[in-house]
Amino acid sequence: MIEGVMRSAGISKANVNRFYDGLVTLAKRQLDKEGEFVLPGLGVLKVRRAKARDARNPRTGEKIRVPAKKVVRFTTYKELKEMLNPGLVKSREPEPQSELNI
């Protein structure tokens, strides 16, 4: 990723590393403080609560209890979904109404 940004933006690897480190620090702080971090043009990272659940240890088959915890989920913006899946994302535009001749 750093190499790709370096080439496309035409900036040094050291500057890309500093930017990335700053972005990660900012994202962590925002997620902890406000519960979400916006990545313009891509989507939003949001903190969610995962409920406690029962699971099984795949090695032993033993039943275990997984406690409730916070998790981070990423939701993409509509434009990105449409770009990746042309024609599959339905728009929310209202259906055109037909004219009634009375």
What is the gyration radius of the CA atoms in the chain, in angstroms? Answer: 22
pLDDT tens sequence across 24-76:
999 999 999 999 999 999 999 999 999 999 999 999 999 999 999 999 999 99
User: Given 3.30.70.1890, 3.40.630.10, 3.40.50.150, 4.10.520.10, which CATH number is that of 35-89?
Assistant: 4.10.520.10
What is the arrangement of strands in the sheet containing 36-39, beginning at the earlier edge strand?
36-39, 43-50, 69-76
Residue 75's DSSP bridge partners are 44
Q: What is the pLDDT of residue 94?
A: 57
| pLDDT band, very low/low/confident/very high, at 87 (cuts 50, 70, 90) | confident
pLDDT band of residue 95 (cuts 50, 70, 90) is low
| In 1-102, alpha helices (H) | 2-9, 13-34, 78-84
Distance (Å, whole) CA 63 – CA 86: 43
What pLDDT was estimated at residue 88? 79
Band of residue 19 on the pLDDT scale cut at 50, 70, 90: very high
